[in-house]
Amino acid sequence: MTAERVIHAAVFVLLLVGLCTVTGWASYQYIQELVLKVAGITLSWGITLLILYVAFKKKEWHWWG
């Protein structure tokens, strides 16, 4: 059970780091104004975290418990 939690935590961290890198790179490359860059990264992260939260809640995974 402990090994499974470690694997789940590692997958979660890798997803977050990967998505952060992709959104940051895309915003840096394709958006010129700073305000739009910050707004784009914030919006995409909000949507991503909401999707992950709903998916984990549906599977009844409690990362923080």
Is 64 part of any domain?
Answer: no
For the chain, how many structural domains are there in total?
1
Is 6 part of any domain?
Answer: yes
Is 39 part of any domain?
Answer: yes
| pTM for this model (two decimals) | 0.54
- Indicate the DSSP class of residue 32: -
Q: What is the pLDDT of residues 13-60, one digit of tens each?
A: 888 888 888 878 887 888 888 887 788 778 888 888 788 778 877 888
Report whether pLDDT(6) > 80. Answer: no
Is 63 part of any domain?
Answer: no
| Range(s) of the domain holding residue 22 | 2-58
Is the dihedral angle over the CA atoms 55, 8, 47, 53 positive or is it negative?
Answer: positive
- Alpha carbons 6 and 12: distance in angstroms, whole number: 10
Q: In what helix (H) or strand (E) does residue 24 lie, and over which residues does it extend?
A: helix 2-30
